[in-house]
Structure 1
């Protein structure tokens, strides 16, 4: 195996070249870019993205980003378009074609067929004088003078620029549509990301037991309630059924260290409890409960609504949901 002495310098040079290309891309965000954004917004349809080779792979990523940020999109491979896939294009759609050169044979076959559909065509292309650019209504200039490899062959810098331009387009559309965190959660219901955005306390606490004792409960009753409900905590209610406080297993340990055997017989829940516990509302997001636990170094919070104890959320619940 050939030993390469300058691996680190090669890697750094690749990243620097791509960074320079991205910096130059900033200067190409102009009125033409705005026209592309408005063309999509005003179409009322979807963005049909097409390309071939590495451009097709970049196009699929752009489609995924558009869909997840509120802009309906789908991918149509340039080679498959002439074999029936053109039928996916609707009158209200906008087609965006990705190609570095804009002059590949597949693109030259595809573009006239797209023009027959009558839908607007956006060219994401490096060469503004190419066939694709000349036959498109809008241009996203993804200029990349050189690739990052020493032979200027492997699609590297050009695909990075196209990816960034696609991200910029998607985020502009997101802002224009007033896309919110709640919208994002609706499109990302799976995994930890989605749960952070939509999972609420009321989705969790009903699955747990509800330990509660009266404020005049004996020490034995408190211990039995905490032990039987297996949460390491119990709520304490007053005579009106409202929350008076909570008792944790840590409270019990501290109390046992502070009192003698005879004194223990006369202790009641109200003598042991923490009277102002940290609470959350059932409609709070679960991630809010997690942030409270982390900031206060505690393992559970009591769920209270109008001073009525509804339940508890334990750190283990949030671990199980993948929020930690």
Structure 2
């Protein structure tokens, strides 16, 4: 059994080997990479990515990344392709074939059929003299010196290189398409990620109505209004214009400051420079304002019109923080 220090050293060695391999990929990038990106951008078809074994698993991840960032893609297992799944490939599709050796039997059987159909073939391989490399229209070189596996057998460094090359391809396409965070939200409507990209402040504040008082409202009535509210605050208005905010904290400070509460009005205890946010801003942005100003509520506005209050708890409930 290895001790703690020995285990950590193994892990560090593995990470260093794989990190060095990725850096070497960057040095070996050639014009083929740029041409591949430009070709995909101009294509009216999809990117079909295929492979076998561990390379097939990497292919599935790259497909998922491309689909989520605006490049329609399909996964096709090379073994299944030669047993009927070739029908997946449509006119104008581009095929990326991933293989460390570039000489696996399934790949060697598949390629002639791709050529016969006139399909553009992009090879991603660790052997630039392999059958796949020589038959490809364009080549992505993922050569690695050694696997991180101590026996130099299990695909480790090689699959990391493939994955990194796929990410480089995806990110290049993102930037060339000028794919924005708004675009990203269209493909990620569910879960926390989607909420951060599309959920707006008004979507949360509308649940609380519009807790408000006039600047001349008595303190007793202010307390009643805050109690009714679920956000621990009310906006203070002067002729329908926001002039302040009163929070639970303001009520506590009022009690500490004044011995006699008789005659106090809302404008006497309100905060006069309330933080506000447009109802059309992303809800995730509300948290940044709250954090920077050490507050738990924001007044929501539409121009100068008061629309409601968003609370820190709203963001927590939605999983945005």
TM-score normalised by the chain length of structure 2? 0.96
Alignment of structure 1 residues 134-173 onto 2, 5 Å: 134-173=134-173
Deviation at 1:7, TM superposition (A): 2.3
Deviation at 1:290, TM superposition (A): 0.6
Is the CA contact 1:279–1:304 (under 8 Å) kept in the aligned structure 2? yes
Deviation at 1:30, TM superposition (A): 1.2
Are 2:283 and 1:275 equivalent residues in the alignment?
A: no
Root mean square deviation of aligned Cα: 1.2
State the secondary structure of the residue aligned to 1:226.
helix
Deviation at 1:39, TM superposition (A): 2.1
Deviation at 1:66, TM superposition (A): 0.8
Is the CA contact 2:208–2:308 (under 8 Å) kept in the aligned structure 1? yes
Other-structure match for 2:250: 251
Other-structure match for 1:55: 55
Q: 1:302 aligns with which of 299, 302, 312?
A: 299
Measure, in 2, the Cα distance between the counterparts of 1:306 and 1:103: 64
Is the CA contact 1:91–1:118 (under 8 Å) kept in the aligned structure 2? no
Paired residues in the alignment total 319
Deviation at 1:42, TM superposition (A): 2.1
Q: Per-residue displacement from partner, 1:78-116 (whole Å, max 9, x unpaired)? A: 111122211111111100000001111111111111112
Is the CA contact 1:91–1:117 (under 8 Å) kept in the aligned structure 2? no
Is the CA contact 1:126–1:142 (under 8 Å) kept in the aligned structure 2? yes
State the secondary structure of the residue aligned to 2:28.
coil
Question: 5+ unaligned residues in a row in structure 2: which ranges?
Answer: none
Deviation at 1:20, TM superposition (A): 1.5
Moved more, 86-95 or 269-278: 269-278
Other-structure match for 1:312: 309
Alignment of structure 1 residues 1-324 onto 2, 5 Å: 3-5=1-3, 6-238=6-238, 240-261=239-260, 264-324=261-321
Q: Per-residue displacement from partner, 1:217-261 (whole Å, max 9, x unpaired)? A: 1111111101112321111111x2222211111111111111123
Measure, in 1, the Cα distance between the counterparts of 2:274 and 2:24: 55
Q: Per-residue displacement from partner, 1:201-229 (whole Å, max 9, x unpaired)? A: 12111111321111111111111101112
Deviation at 1:4, TM superposition (A): 2.4
Measure, in 2, the Cα distance between the counterparts of 1:21 and 1:249: 57
TM-score normalised by the chain length of structure 1? 0.95
Is the CA contact 2:182–2:198 (under 8 Å) kept in the aligned structure 1? yes
Measure, in 2, the Cα distance between the counterparts of 1:292 and 1:127: 52
State the secondary structure of the residue aligned to 2:186.
helix
Deviation at 1:317, TM superposition (A): 0.3
Question: 5+ unaligned residues in a row in structure 1: which ranges?
Answer: none
Is the CA contact 2:231–2:310 (under 8 Å) kept in the aligned structure 1? no
